[in-house]
Amino acid sequence: MKEVISKGPILHVSERAVNRIKELLLQDDMACGVRVGVQRGGCSGFSYSVDYAYSKSDFDEVVLAGDVSVFIDKKAIFFLLGAVMDYVQHKFSSSFIFMNPKEKIKCGCGRSFSV
């Protein structure tokens, strides 16, 4: 993993993730950042979500990573404390990934986790 840009109290964001977020924001000029959340689902109980953010809700926490904003849903804060968000590219796929010290079990496919 490359150098971590943000050292916010909730979520750390790698340089690769920041660069990918910048690329994504260029594709949607209405978006003001990305929103990271945790949802119930997947074979291990929870999964991460990353989507465009179009506004800040009253309940969002904002992590400034470089010059991009990462909005974190209030309900996801507990799950994301101390986690690192990175971006990886493989030959046939690419995705945001999370290294999270709170994860007890991660699904074999890597898409869901339990705490």
Query: Is 49 inside any structural domain?
Result: yes
Structural domain including 26 reads: 11-109
Tally of structural domains, the chain: 1
Residue 71 lies in a domain: yes
Instruction: Say which CATH number the domain at 78 has.
Output: 2.60.300.12
- Would you write out the chain's pLDDT as a tens digit for each of its 115 residues? 555 555 556 899 999 999 999 999 999 999 999 999 988 766 657 888 999 999 999 989 999 998 999 999 888 998 899 999 999 999 998 999 898 887 665 655 555 555 6
pLDDT for residue 107:
54
Alpha helices in the chain (DSSP H): 15-27, 77-80
Whether residue 2 is contained in a domain is answered as: no
- Is the residue at 81 inside a domain? yes
> What pLDDT does 111 receive?
58
The residues, ordered by sequence, that sit 6+ positions from 84 with a Cβ below 8 Å of its Cβ are 1, 4, 11, 12, 13, 14, 98, 99, 100
Residue position matching structure tokens 């991460």: 48
Residue 114 counted as domain residue: no
Beta-carbon neighbour count of residue 15 at 10 Å? 17
pLDDT on residue 50: 93
Q: Is residue 76 part of a domain?
A: yes
Give the pLDDT score at 86: 95
